[in-house]
Structure formats: C-alpha cells, structure tokens
Amino acid sequence: MAALLNNLLIHNHIKRAVPRKKKWADQMFIRNREKNILELLLKMSGTHTVSSLASTLHVSERTVNRDMRNIEKILSEYNLKISRNKDNFLYIKGKNEDIFKLSQSLS
C-alpha cells in the first residue's frame, strides 16, 4: 500500500512539473464583436469611449461594458490592460511588443 501511495505521489509530482497543453475548453474564446472592439482600440487608441464604441457597433453601452470584461481577460493573457484617460477615452496599456503580439493574434 505504501508503494502504491508513493507511486501516486511521484506521478502527481511529475504531472505538475510538466506544463500541460491547453485543451480547447481552456483556450480563450473571443467573440466577433470583442475582436472588433479590440481592433478599434488598437487602430485608434485613445479616441473611443464606451459610448462611441457602442454607437460604432450599433449596440448598447451595457453590451460594450459586458464585452469589456471578457476583453480584459484576453488582454491579461498578453500582459496588457485597458485604461482610461481623464476624458474617459479608452486605450490599451502595456509594452509595445505585447501589443504587437495581440494585433498579430487578431489577424
């Protein structure tokens, strides 16, 4: 019994040490509208508010705010985040190379 328990402990330790491959369910899912919001923020950083995004995409501000929650999760995968300036204009904040990686993954 002790040998079996020891084998399980060793197996679990090895299993945790090896990085696991992402399964389809673990991968970040991005909706088309969220992709459009990200592209608008990347191309025209600092020129959009939640209201202007809603108007451009023909949705409500509430919808944009809901999409922003998932967008923030996506951006965190790239070490980026959404910030607002003093006039509530949105922009993506982070290193240029991380912003470049994000833009490459969207195309």
> Per-residue pLDDT tens for 64-93?
999 999 999 999 999 999 998 888 899 999
* pLDDT for position 27: 53
Closest CA to 93 of 105, 76, 107, 68: 76
Backbone angles phi, psi at 94, to 5 degrees: 160, -175
The mean pLDDT of 4-22, rounded to a whole number, is: 45
Q: Is the pLDDT of residue 59 over 70?
A: yes
pLDDT for 56 beyond 90 = yes
Residue 9 in this model has a pLDDT that exceeds 50: no
Please give the model's pTM, rounded to 2 decimal places: 0.70
Long-range pairs for 26-33: beta carbons < 8 A, 24 or more residues apart: 28/73, 28/74, 28/77, 30/70, 30/74, 31/67, 31/70, 33/57, 33/59, 33/63, 33/67
Task: Compare 7 and 62 and report the one with higher pLDDT.
Answer: 62
